C-alpha cells in the first residue's frame, strides 16, 4: 500500500490560487507606473522655470518668459509631478520654439533634485538623439540600445529625423518603434521632442499602429508659437 496520500484536490486548488494571487500582487508592485517627481512638488513650476532660464542663458541668449513659454512650463511641471498617469511627454512643433530647451530643463531639474553620491540612489535622465538609434541598431555588439529600452528615465531628441527602418542581419527593423513599444510596455518615463506637427505626420512616418501607441503612451504638448531663433542677417 502506498504510504503517500494524494493531496486533497480542493486543498491543491486553494494553494494554487494563493500562489497565483501572490504572483499577480508582485507584478502590480513592480509596475506602479512611471517615475514622478515627489520632492518640493509646490516649487516644481518655479524650479523648472529656473532650469529653462539657465538653458537659454548658457547659450548666450536672453530669457523672456512670454505667455507660450510659461504655459509650456506649467503643463510640463504638472506632468512631472504626476497629474497624468501617462508615461511619456511628447513635445512637438516647428523648429526653434523651445522644445529641446524645455526637455533639457526637465533633465536638469531631475538630475539636480535626485543627485546622490551613491549611484544606487541617484536618478539621471539619459539623453540621446533619435538619429543615433539607427547606428546603435546596426551595431549588434553595442548593448546601449537594449539598455535604453529599460532605463528608467529617457529623453529622445528630434524624433522623426532618424531613418524609419534599417536592415540588421537581413531583417528590416525599426529602432524607434521597437524602443517605444518596449518602454510603453514597462510604463517608463519617456520625454521626446519632434518637428512632426500633427497626427497625420506621425501616421505618414510610422503608420497607424505606432500612432495609436503614441496616443496611449504620451501626453501631447504642442509648440505652435513662433521660433525663438534669431534670423540670419547678411554681413555688411
Residue pLDDT, tens place only, 95-111: 999 999 999 999 999 99
Four-CA torsion 49, 70, 156, 199, nearest 10 degrees = 170
Q: CA-CA distance, 137 to 162, in Å (whole number)?
A: 12
With a pLDDT cut of 90, the percent of the chain lying above it is 58
Per this entry, what is the length of the chain?
A: 236
Segment 157-161 shows an average pLDDT of 95
Q: CA-CA distance, 34 to 173, in Å (whole number)?
A: 27
Cα angle at 33 between 122 and 52, to 5 degrees? 55
Segment 4-23 shows an average pLDDT of 73
Please, what is the average pLDDT of the chain?
A: 87
User: Cα 153 vs. chain centroid, distance in angstroms?
Assistant: 7
Helix (H) or strand (E) holding 206: helix 199-206
Instruction: Output 47-50 pairs: Cβ under 8 A, ≥24 positions apart.
Output: 47/109, 47/113, 48/73, 48/76, 48/77, 48/80, 48/105, 48/106, 48/109, 49/73
Residue pLDDT, tens place only, 60-89: 999 988 999 999 999 999 999 999 999 999
pLDDT at 185: 92
In CATH, the architecture of 36-223 is: 3-Layer(aba) Sandwich (3.40)
Which residue is it, cell 497624468?
84
Residue pLDDT, tens place only, 167-181: 777 677 788 999 999
Task: Say yes or no to pLDDT of 27 above 60.
Answer: no
Amino acid at each position: 500500500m502506498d504510504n503517500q496520500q494524494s493531496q486533497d484536490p480542493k486543498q491543491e486548488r486553494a494553494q494554487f490560487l494563493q500562489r497565483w494571487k501572490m504572483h499577480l500582487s508582485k507584478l502590480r508592485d513592480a509596475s506602479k507606473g512611471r517615475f514622478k517627481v515627489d520632492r518640493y512638488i509646490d516649487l516644481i513650476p518655479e524650479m523648472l522655470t529656473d532650469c529653462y532660464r539657465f538653458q537659454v542663458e548658457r547659450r548666450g541668449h536672453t530669457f523672456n518668459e512670454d505667455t507660450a513659454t510659461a504655459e509650456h512650463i506649467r503643463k510640463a511641471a504638472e506632468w512631472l509631478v504626476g497629474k497624468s498617469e501617462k508615461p511619456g511627454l511628447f513635445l512637438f512643433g516647428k523648429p526653434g520654439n523651445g522644445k529641446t530647451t524645455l526637455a533639457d530643463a526637465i533633465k536638469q531639474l531631475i538630475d539636480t533634485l535626485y543627485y546622490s553620491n551613491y549611484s544606487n540612489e541617484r536618478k539621471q535622465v539619459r539623453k540621446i538623439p533619435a538619429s543615433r538609434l539607427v547606428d546603435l541598431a546596426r551595431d549588434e555588439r553595442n548593448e546601449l540600445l537594449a539598455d535604453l529600452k529599460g532605463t528608467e528615465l529617457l529623453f529622445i531628441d528630434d524624433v522623426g529625423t532618424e531613418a524609419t527602418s534599417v536592415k540588421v542581419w537581413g531583417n528590416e527593423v525599426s529602432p524607434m518603434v521597437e524602443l517605444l513599444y518596449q518602454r510603453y510596455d514597462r510604463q517608463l518615463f519617456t520625454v521626446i521632442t519632434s518637428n512632426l506637427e500633427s497626427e497625420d505626420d506621425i501616421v505618414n512616418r510610422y503608420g497607424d499602429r505606432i500612432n495609436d501607441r503614441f496616443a496611449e503612451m504620451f501626453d501631447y504638448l504642442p509648440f505652435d508659437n513662433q521660433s525663438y531663433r534669431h534670423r540670419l542677417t547678411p554681413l555688411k
